[in-house]
Amino acid sequence: MNKEKKNKLKWISNNLPKTEDKNLILMSPSQSKQVHEFHMSFPQYKETPLVRLSNMSAHLGLKDIFLKDESYRFGLNAFKVLGGSYAIARYISSITDEDISKLPYSVLTSDELRNKIGEITFYTATDGNHGRGVAWAANKLNQKCVVYMPAGTTQTRLNHVLNENATATIEALNYDDCVRKAYSQSQSKENAIIIQDTAWDGYEEIPAWIMQGYGTMALEADTQMQKYGCERPTHIFIQAGVGSLAGAVQGYFTNKYSDCEPKVVVVEAEVADCLYKSAIEGSGNPQIVGGDMLTLMNGLACGEPCTIAWGILKNHADTFVSCPDWVSALGMRLLAAPSKGDAPVTSGESGAVTMGLLYTILTDPEYKDIKEKLGLDENSSVMLFSTEGDTDPERYRSIVWEGMDSL
Ligand SMILES: Cc1ncc(COP(=O)(O)O)c(C=O)c1O
């Protein structure tokens, strides 16, 4: 696409009034350690790679770029299962009245536990990865799962959920309305519960567990970075749909490096930039984006902020950025073919947008102001999270191989 015709990036520094920081404790290091132990009980568990893009960072004038490659997570090609699996386990621990440490994978998947708790139906809404993770976990526990997916979801993503023995449908609704449907259905059925990766007033416990589940990814990345000899990231770029992931990552690193917080840049798809709009609005109250929210970045097509995550982000995030689709397509290509000598990464539409953004900020003079505001230079160690691989391989190829740039 002709560069002049491309939509521009929009960004704003966080100037929101600070409020009581009550949600930060959810992501305390001791909590993340406990969640990590839970995940390590899974036979599928293996630390995902932290790739050091040394030549790319030299090319861009940075000290370091580290990229966590979540395409290797549990064979599911995305990080999301970390949240759903932990939340389901915590829900079961609330039924059996046992500490989560007594519910490792072997117990959770046992016939004995299944007989004790009976049949449960887990409801959820998803634009792909979360629902696949919840369906996967429910399937392993021999439980039922019902999943609603928004208009615009591809058949491939639906098939991934169906393959986990879930009942799944693509609805003529957007993501946020699918959430409302999953909630009302779960309320009207016996032994049913919604496992949703976003919070709203009155529904906070389960999404808090989901965010804590994401702590495993942050903890791994932090530990791996230290092994590379890097003490701490100076900057973290993290993508957001409802913001649960961003809130979890921000929360983990703010707790861990409280004396020297990394600058966190929250990155959204422009058609669903509810956190950016909340920062612009300025009062501190979360703002909502509606409509179809069609974007290449399916995983980021959410218009209503997660209330718990917003509590953390409004107090700690440094900058909010709203990105058109071309930024994500660019990031996918950069990671598929990085500078010579760096390991390529298969990064999907919602996984690669931060790489595209970092590259654009550092190479396009039009964005010199944000580069300076963030203080990105030869002393910067930047952490990125490629949160999904080629979750829709056909679309991945049309972008990376054939040059597609936007929907
Ligand atoms: C691959 C991927 N990355 C990032 C996100 C954003 O997470 P959140 O909705 O918690 O902001 C999602 C959400 O589904 C996703 O699937």
- Closest ligand 1 atom to residue 245 Cα is 10
Q: Are residues 106 and 192 in the same domain?
A: yes
Q: Are residues 75 and 86 in the same domain?
A: no
Q: Are residues 46 and 156 in the same domain?
A: no
3 domain residue, yes or no: no
For residue 362, the model assigns a pLDDT of 98
Q: What's the gap in Å between 302 CA and the centre of ligand 1?
A: 9
Bridge partners, 51 (sequence order): 67
Block means of pLDDT (10 residues each) for the chain, 407 residues, are: 75 97 97 98 98 98 98 97 98 97 98 97 95 98 97 92 98 95 97 97 97 98 97 98 98 97 98 98 97 93 96 98 98 97 98 98 97 98 98 96 91
pTM score, two decimals? 0.98
Residue after which a domain boundary falls, among 170, 202, 234: 202
Q: Are residues 241 and 359 in the same domain?
A: yes
- Closest ligand 1 atom to residue 83 Cα is 10
For residue 207, the model assigns a pLDDT of 98
Mutate to test the pocket of ligand 1, among 124, 275, 350, 388 (most ligand atoms within 8 A of CB): 350
406 domain residue, yes or no: no
Q: Are residues 193 and 284 in the same domain?
A: no
Q: Are residues 91 and 159 in the same domain?
A: yes
Q: What's the gap in Å between 241 CA and the centre of ligand 1?
A: 5
Q: Are residues 282 and 374 in the same domain?
A: yes
**For residue 87, what are the domain limits?**
81-202
35 domain residue, yes or no: yes
Number of domains in the chain: 2
Among 213, 266, 211, 221, CA closest to 68: 221
Residue after which a domain boundary falls, among 171, 202, 233: 202
366 domain residue, yes or no: yes
For residue 406, the model assigns a pLDDT of 85
Residue after which a domain boundary falls, among 147, 173, 202: 202
250 domain residue, yes or no: yes
- Closest ligand 1 atom to residue 128 Cα is 16
Q: Are residues 279 and 374 in the same domain?
A: yes
- For residue 270, what is the domain's CATH number? 3.40.50.1100
Q: Are residues 354 and 321 in the same domain?
A: yes
- Closest ligand 1 atom to residue 298 Cα is 16
Close Cβ partners of 258 (under 8 Å, ≥ 6 residues apart): none
Q: Are residues 250 and 382 in the same domain?
A: yes
348 domain residue, yes or no: yes
Distance, in Å, from the CA atom of 133 to the CA atom of 165, rounded to the nearest integer, reads: 12
Q: Show the ligand 1 pocket: residues with CB < 6 angstroms.
A: 78, 80, 127, 129-130, 197, 239-246, 299-300, 302, 350-351, 387-388
Mutate to test the pocket of ligand 1, among 179, 210, 387 (most ligand atoms within 8 A of CB): 387
Please name the residue whose Cα sits nearest to atom 9 of ligand 1. 241
330 domain residue, yes or no: yes
Mutate to test the pocket of ligand 1, among 200, 210, 237, 245 (most ligand atoms within 8 A of CB): 245
Q: Are residues 367 and 393 in the same domain?
A: yes
Q: Are residues 235 and 378 in the same domain?
A: yes
217 domain residue, yes or no: yes
Residues with a catalytic annotation lie at: 80, 127
For residue 4, the model assigns a pLDDT of 60
- Do 125 and 196 contact (CB within 8 A), yes or no? yes
